[in-house]
Amino acid sequence: MSFGDEERRKEWRRKKEEVNNDLPTRTSIVMPYIPIEKNCADCARIFEISSGEQDFFRRKGLDVPRRCKECRIKRKEIREKN
Ligand SMILES: [Zn+2]
């Protein structure tokens, strides 16, 4: 009977897809980010980018910021005024 074989093949394919779908989420949870210390590009002060922030920027496909929070806020205010 070929019907049983087809069912088994479908089941196998389904299981394979489950495993594949599972992988990306699992790795992103397991992979921890270590806080980075950086020199601000504007004021040269050392600021820290927490693991949560790194995760946030990478999820959005952005680079981690080169400026400290204060300088980023300042730049944002200047941009909004213009
Ligand atoms: Zn700064």
Write the pLDDT tens digit of every residue in 40-67: 999 999 999 999 999 999 999 999 899 9
Taking the centre of ligand 1 as the mean of its atom positions, its distance from the CA of residue 56, in whole angstroms, is 20
Taking the centre of ligand 1 as the mean of its atom positions, its distance from the CA of residue 21, in whole angstroms, is 41
Residue 42 sits in the same domain as residue 75: yes
Residue 27 sits in the same domain as residue 4: yes
Enclosing domain of residue 75: 35-82
Residue 39 sits in the same domain as residue 20: no
Q: Which residues surround ligand 1, an ion (CB under 5 A)?
A: 40, 42-43, 68, 71
Q: How many domains does the chain have?
A: 2
Q: How confident is the model at residue 20 (pLDDT cuts 50, 70, 90)?
A: low
Beta bridge partners of 54: none
CA nearest neighbour of 71 among 34, 37, 46: 46
Taking the centre of ligand 1 as the mean of its atom positions, its distance from the CA of residue 69, in whole angstroms, is 7
pLDDT at 5 (0 to 100): 86
Query: pTM for this one?
Result: 0.53
Residue 43 sits in the same domain as residue 67: yes
pLDDT at 11 (0 to 100): 86
Beta bridge partners of 36: 49
* pLDDT over threshold 90, residue 72: yes
Residue 21 sits in the same domain as residue 47: no
pLDDT at 16 (0 to 100): 76
* pLDDT over threshold 90, residue 17: no
Residue 24 sits in the same domain as residue 45: no
Taking the centre of ligand 1 as the mean of its atom positions, its distance from the CA of residue 65, in whole angstroms, is 11
Mean pLDDT of the chain: 84
Residue 24 sits in the same domain as residue 57: no
CB 67 within 8 A of CB 75: yes
Q: How many CB atoms within 10 Å of residue 40?
A: 17
Burial 58-77 (b: 16+ CB within 10 A, else e): eeeeeeebebbeebeeeeee
